[in-house]
């Protein structure tokens, strides 16, 4: 937890594509954040090296140290991800693998949004992975949004009122938890 009264949320997209629906969702949630909250969208997923236990020591690669520092300083985490080939995107799984030995997600309040065409398989897999990492996945902040593209306009704004309400409720749950 932060020593100051300001809280931090670290938002991580499982998509590397800057114009992705998942990035749009994280931007939308950032706009909902109170001004007293520091809301950081992590953009370093593509720069993380492939997980290698030989490099996971007291001096891991700088990009890994940076991610771990951001996670340690965050009061809460939001992961918003698509599903690729019926599973977790490789870049997101790689980032999560780098947190195993550090315990970076241990007891961290976490919201999970899976927004994809389907998403059920990645969502279920992430719940298992995050459980293994001992993250505090908040049940009320766990959301599966299938057919996400049909719920957004061409600019990436969420136009589906049910999806928008569910995202706000999940975010509010995370805010209350931290």
Radius of gyration, alpha carbons of the chain:
15
Residue 5's pLDDT is what? 62
- Domain-embedded: residue 73: yes
Q: Collapsing DSSP states into helix, strand and coil, what is residue 77?
A: strand
Per-residue model confidence as pLDDT tens digits over 101-122: 999 999 999 999 999 999 999 9
Does residue 2 fall inside a structural domain? no
1-15, 117-131, 135-149, 154-168: least confident range: 1-15
CATH number of the domain at 73, please: 3.40.50.360
In which region does residue 52 sit, left (phi positive, over 0), alpha (psi from -120 to 50) or beta (all else)?
Answer: beta
Asked if residue 1 belongs to a domain, the reply is no
% of the chain at pLDDT higher than 90: 93
pTM for the model: 0.93
* Count of domains for the chain: 1
- Give dist(CA 23, CA 164) in Å, integer: 15
pLDDT above 70 for 41: yes
- pLDDT tens for residues 62-107? 999 999 999 999 999 999 999 999 999 999 999 999 999 999 999 9
Tell me the residue range of the domain where 82 lies: 7-177
């Amino acid at each position: 937890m932060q020593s100051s009264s300001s809280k931090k949320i670290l938002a991580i997209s499982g998509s590397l594509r800057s114009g992705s629906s998942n990035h749009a969702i994280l931007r939308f949630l950032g706009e909902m954040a109170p001004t007293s909250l520091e809301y950081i969208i992590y953009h370093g997923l593509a720069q993380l090296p492939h997980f290698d236990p030989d490099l996971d020591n007291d001096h891991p690669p700088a990009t890994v140290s940076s991610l771990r520092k951001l996670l340690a300083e965050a009061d809460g985490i939001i992961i918003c991800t698509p599903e690729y080939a019926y599973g977790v995107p490789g870049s997101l799984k790689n980032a999560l693998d780098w947190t195993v030995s550090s315990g970076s997600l241990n007891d961290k309040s976490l919201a999970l949004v899976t927004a994809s065409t389907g998403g059920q398989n990645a969502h279920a897999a992430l719940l298992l992975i995050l459980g293994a990492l001992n993250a505090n996945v908040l049940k009320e902040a766990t959301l599966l949004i299938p057919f996400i593209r049909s719920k957004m306009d061409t600019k990436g704004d969420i136009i589906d009122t049910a999806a928008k309400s569910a995202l706000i409720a999940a975010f509010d749950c995370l805010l209350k938890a931290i």
